[in-house]
Amino acid sequence: MDHILIVDDDPGIRELLTRYLGEHGYRITAAADGREMRRALAASAFDMILLDLMLPGEDGIALFLDLNPQAHIPVIMLTARDETADRVMGIELGADDYVTKPFEPRELLARIKSVLRRARHLPKHCPEAARSYRFAGWFMDARARELLTPGEVVVSLSGTEFRLLKVFLDHPRSVLSRDHLAEFVYGKKISPLDRGVDALISRLRQHLGDDARKPSLLKTVRYEGYRLDADVEVE
């Protein structure tokens, strides 16, 4: 049974989600603020966190950044409709998905299932505690979100480019399908005609100086997906 931590200062939302998600087979623990959240994390292991951005004291962004990276707990952020900047910031920082308030419990349930499925379907040898990566002469600092060329020149990456590269670095020499890449990077499935992942791969190849006609790092595996063809050292 998956264990979900709900962090929201609204007692009505905590009660609603505790009851609704409990009825759908999840074990639920609820917290009203950052202090209760830390207490719960110290006492139990969780498979997911539903984290409200607008909390008294420390807000959701600060609490998200304070999470232990070694735990690698998927996070869905709960946001108000008019908090676009915070919502975008949360996704750019690496949250797995977001749901705006007010929301339909059925929609949230679908998002929860999608994120948990995505986490389970990725290869299992991911180095959860990795803070930096070295590959083919390149270096990426995951905390600082910096990519350095072999000549130690900083390459600027967008949030989606960063998340895409990190997926490949966490799963070197593994073939990752377009669907899995899209779910991890965008937090949603894509249609067969959606070329967003392919365009993102193309931009990442350009950053890495990888020839699109004969790529040596990000290789296309026909009918299956893409593979990072390099050994990766993690720290």
Are 84 and 24 found together in one domain?
yes
Angstrom distance (rounded) from CA 169 to CA 163: 10
33 pLDDT exceeds 50? yes
Residue range 111-126: mean pLDDT, rounded: 69
Q: Is the pLDDT higher at 85 or at 32?
A: 32
For residue 77, being part of any structural domain is answered with: yes
Among the residue ranges 53-57, 68-72, 131-135, the one predicted with the least confidence is 68-72
Instruction: In whole angstroms, give the CA distance from residue 229 to residue 135.
Output: 10
Domain containing 141 equals: 132-234
DSSP 125: T
Residue 123 in this model has a pLDDT that exceeds 70: no
- One domain for residues 75 and 142: no
| 11 shares its domain with 113 | yes
Reduced to 3 states (helix: H, G, I; strand: E, B; else coil), residue 27 is strand
DSSP for 175-235 reads: EE-HHHHHHHHHSS---TT--HHHHHHHHHHHHHT--SSS-SSEEEETTTEEEE-S-EEE-
CATH code of the domain in which 81 resides? 3.40.50.2300
Residues 143 and 92 in one domain: no
Mean pLDDT of 172-193: 75
Rounded CA-CA distance 44/171 in Å is 28
Is pLDDT of 89 > 70?
no
- Which single residue is written with the structure tokens 């899995």? 180
Question: Average pLDDT, stretch 204-233?
Answer: 92
Please, is 133 exposed, middle or buried when counting C-beta atoms within 10 Å of its C-beta (0-12, 13-18, 19+)? buried
CA–CA distance, 55 with 32 (Å, rounded to integer) = 8
- Identify the band that residue 128 occupies on the pLDDT scale cut at 50, 70 and 90: very low
Domain count, the chain: 2
DSSP secondary-structure letter at 17? H
Query: Mean pLDDT across the stretch 33-58?
Result: 92
